[in-house]
Amino acid sequence: MNCESCSPKTYLSWFEKICSIPHESRNEQALSNFLVEFARERHLAVSQDEKGNILIRKPGTRGMEQAPTVILQGHMDMVCVKDEGLDFDFAQDPLRLVIDGDSLHADGTSLGADNGIALAYILALLDSSDIPHPPLEAVVTVDEEVGMGGATAFDASQLSASLFINMDSEDEGVFCVSCAGGRRSRMHIPAETEDAAPLAASGKGHFYLITVTGLAGGHSGLEIIRERGNSNKLLARVLDDLTRKFPCRIVSLNGGTAANAIPKESSAVVLSSAEEQELRAELDSWTEIFRHELRGADGAGLVITLADADAADKVLTERCAANVIDAALLIPTGIASMDMNITSQRLVESSNNFAMIRMEKGEIVFHCQTRSSVASKKEALCRQIDVLASMIGATVEHSGDYPAWEYNPNSRLQPLFESTYRDLFHKDARVEGIHAGLECGLFAEKFRKLGRNVDFLSFGPTVSGAHTTRECLSLSSAENTWKLLIEVLRRIGKTA
């Protein structure tokens, strides 16, 4: 694609330039250096930190020099995914852009509109000589897609603005005004075992594999509101029932795939002397129970299977198995509270995802991802995990903490964006929060510690299929978002 034909949409020309420079997460140095040279060529103040984060300052245009300074923020890294078998090297090959009607996508790879379009808008504004705007502080971070390391390292004390516009949202006409903070927890339960041989001898026991599968899973922040089944939790209920009704000992457990994914498949190996048909009948009964409980969510495909398993030398002691099952039954799971402040949507305020079960190095380890847009409620959920662990002689390790961006009912940016959108497009925008992390949360926490009152809002054009080879940018939405941005900046500038 040659974006010369897109003129006067100069932001698309800049987007094409960005796509020609490698910028995979943790490999953004070339793009970071390009931004430094871009700024120097235009005699704009620029700084680059050790991580590669960029800050570029541009004075307000004539008559707007004394208007409130605005931070424009996005991240420069992209998630790099390509079609199987495609000969393409993200470390050196430019993305091959394709326009198909209103859609812009890349040929065989992810597009990186998340968040390259924000950077393209920023470059177009910094390069312009005829777009009225207040003083600007452009902040472009690295490593957002792999833990927000750039924003974590950024020195916010060098910023002077009181208005912060993040452009990392992906639905035109939806203004994001809060995000959840998060923390990961690992509960370590000592795996006390005993020999399985005496229990399995003389045909008194048989090894079985029990699997809970067929659930939908999904993102533990964005999809938690759908009340989908958690396979780890369901497996715990099954094991609790079996160990109370039948001679049944637990050999091993495994469930889930990632901390930020709702688990959709979990399994356990058990040793039992019960008749196979009795176990199958019990599992069939639980299948129907779970399908009924989850009938409005993802229960239709749920299956609990019983199969032969390889013999094992050890089983968990009855006390250890009871501790594991009790902990799995009691650990907070799913929605803990709903947000009562943002009334335009059903928004989860706090949740905990019982994400994974692993047996490793003599321990049974439970992995959790806790989220909340209220810091104290995140602490309360994590404290529940701590207390539960102490009751069974387990320990908890917390990591990956990132702060929330709490809703501001006195925001100046929110009504400004709403009224501007209505004036431009003769329809109402939606104001929403997100039950996942944004860099706004990290910056908001930095400003809070500095004693600064900074107003935040996140918005962006419609990007579908982000992080996949189906990722595409709606060109009409990109144009609407560009018009909205420059009109908002003009209105802020008029307050000088």
State the pLDDT confidence band at 1, using cuts at 50, 70 and 90.
low
Specify whether 198 is located in the same domain as 95.
no
Least confident window among 207-211, 212-216, 290-294, 466-470? 466-470
Per-residue pLDDT of 10-59, as tens digits, reads: 999 999 999 999 999 999 999 999 999 999 999 999 999 999 999 999 99
Specify whether 371 is located in the same domain as 240.
yes
Catalytic status, residue 37: no
Q: Where does a domain end: 356, 380, 402?
A: 402
CATH code, domain carrying 347: 3.30.70.360
Specify whether 275 is located in the same domain as 419.
no
Query: Which pLDDT score is estimated for 7?
Result: 41
Q: Which domain holds residue 72?
A: 3-180+405-493
Query: Which pLDDT score is estimated for 68?
Result: 97
CATH code, domain carrying 148: 3.40.630.10
Per-residue pLDDT of 378-407, as tens digits, reads: 999 999 999 999 999 999 999 989 999 999
Per-residue pLDDT of 364-374, as tens digits, reads: 999 999 999 99
Catalytic status, residue 144: yes
Query: Which pLDDT score is estimated for 4?
Result: 43
Query: Which pLDDT score is estimated for 205?
Result: 87
**CA–CA gap between residue 278 and residue 283 (Å, rounded):** 9
Query: Which pLDDT score is estimated for 219?
Result: 86
The single residue of 144, 170, 282, 432 carrying the catalytic annotation is: 144
In total, how many domains does the chain have?
2
Query: Which pLDDT score is estimated for 83?
Result: 94
**In the predicted model, is pLDDT for residue 203 greater than 70?**
no
Per-residue pLDDT of 431-442, as tens digits, reads: 999 998 899 999
Q: What is the pTM of this model?
A: 0.81
Query: Which pLDDT score is estimated for 487?
Result: 98
Specify whether 209 is located in the same domain as 108.
no
Specify whether 245 is located in the same domain as 198.
yes
Per-residue pLDDT of 137-190, as tens digits, reads: 999 999 999 889 999 999 999 999 999 999 999 999 999 999 999 999 999 999
Per-residue pLDDT of 86-119, as tens digits, reads: 999 999 999 999 999 999 999 999 999 999 999 9
Query: Which pLDDT score is estimated for 344?
Result: 82
Residues above pLDDT 70, as percent of the chain: 97
Specify whether 213 is located in the same domain as 335.
yes
Q: Are residues 72 and 61 in contact, defined by beta-carbon separation less than 8 angstroms?
A: no
Specify whether 83 is located in the same domain as 228.
no
Per-residue pLDDT of 344-360, as tens digits, reads: 889 999 999 999 999 99
Specify whether 410 is located in the same domain as 482.
yes
**In the predicted model, is pLDDT for residue 65 greater than 80?**
yes
Q: Per the structure block, which two tokens stand in for 428?
A: 């109402």
Specify whether 323 is located in the same domain as 352.
yes
State the pLDDT confidence band at 297, using cuts at 50, 70 and 90.
very high
**In the predicted model, is pLDDT for residue 3 greater than 80?**
no
Q: Where does a domain end: 379, 402, 425?
A: 402
The single residue of 28, 77, 168, 349 carrying the catalytic annotation is: 77
Specify whether 277 is located in the same domain as 378.
yes
Q: What is the mean pLDDT of residues 257-270?
A: 93
Q: Where does a domain end: 402, 425, 454?
A: 402
| Cα–Cα separations (whole angstroms), residue 428 to 63, 304, 339, 419, 453 | 31, 47, 22, 8, 28
Specify whether 347 is located in the same domain as 383.
yes
Q: Which residue has the tokens 């399908």?
A: 291
Specify whether 352 is located in the same domain as 466.
no
Across 59-91, b (16+ Cβ under 10 Å) vs e yields ebbeebeebbbbbbbbbbbbbbbbeeeeebebe
